[in-house]
Amino acid sequence: MNIGIIGAGHVGGTLGRRWSAGNHTVTFGIRGEPDEQLRQYMDTSGGAARATTPIEAARGAEVVVLATPWKETHDAVQQLGDLSGKIVIDCTNPFKPGLTGLDVPADSSGAAQVASWAPGSRVVKAFNTTGFNIMANPKFADGAAAMFYCGDDVPAKRVVDALATELGFAPVDAGPLTVARQLESLGLLWVGLAIGSDLGREIAFRLLRRPPVQ
C-alpha cells in the first residue's frame, strides 16, 4: 500500500520504517528537510521510505497516518487537502499538559475531532496505546502486545488490523469510533505507567482470551 505518514517523530518514524521494510511504499510528509532522526529511520527502512511535503505525502497515499503532537494535529490535517475516501489512522493522543487528563470535551475524543476536520475520510483510531519502542518490537516472551483500534468504517478497520498484524501486534477491534475516548485514556494509562512508575517503557497491554464457559 501507499502509506503517507504525517509527523515524523519516534512514532511516525518507527511505523514508517517498519512498514517500508514490509514492502509498503512509505512517504513521510514533513515541513523542510528531514532531521537527523528521520534520516536514521529512512536509512534503516531499506531505502523504501522517502520524505516530501505533507500535502504530497497525503495525495499519493491510500492510508494517511497522523503521528503529530496533538497541538499540531488540527493544522496538520488542514494542510493535507482533500482526504475524502482515504483511510486516516489517528495515532495522536490529546493529553493535557502534565498528563492530567484528555484535552477534549468529555463526550468527544481526539479521533472524533480528527474525523470532523477531515470530512469523508475513513478514520480509525490505532497505534496510540503503547510507545514507539513497542511498535518497534511488539513481541514479549509471553505473547504479543495488543493493538486496540476502533472506527466506524469496517473495511478501513480490516486494513488497520492487517497493518498491525504485519508489525507483530495482536490486533483487537474495540468497536465504533466512539470507543476512541477509552483508547486515548488507555494511552494515558500507558504513559503514566511508563514514566510514572518503576516499570519503565518496556511494557504493553495484552488481551487474554479463553473459550466461553458453558
* Shortest Å distance, C-beta 183 to a copy of itself: 7
How many residues are recorded in the chain?
214
**Is the CB of 50 or the CB of 139 nearer to a copy of itself?**
139
- Residues in touch with a copy of itself (CB under 8 A): 100-102, 105-107, 133, 140-143, 145, 148, 172-175, 178-179, 181-183, 185-186, 188-189, 192-193, 196-197, 199-213
Closer of 79 and 178 to a copy of itself (Cβ): 178
CB of 176 to a copy of itself, least distance (A): 9
What are residue 29's DSSP bridge partners? 6, 52
Q: What whole-number distance in Å separates Cα of residue 48 and Cα of residue 18?
A: 10
Q: Can you read off the three cell numbers belonging to residue 90?
A: 489517528
DSSP 125-194: E-S-SS-HHHHH--EETTEEPEEEEEES-HHHHHHHHHHHHHHT-EEEE--SGGGHHHHHHHHHHHHHHH
| Nearer to a copy of itself (CB atom), residue 122 or residue 181 | 181
Report the C-alpha gap between 117 and 111 in whole angstroms. Answer: 10
CB of 102 to a copy of itself, least distance (A): 7
Query: Residue 133 CB, nearest distance to a copy of itself (Å)?
Result: 7
Strand pairing partners for 87?
A: 63, 122
Report the residue number, 162 or 207, with the smaller CB distance to a copy of itself: 207
Nearer to a copy of itself, 4 or 94 (CB): 94
Nearest distance in Å: CB 29, a copy of itself: 29
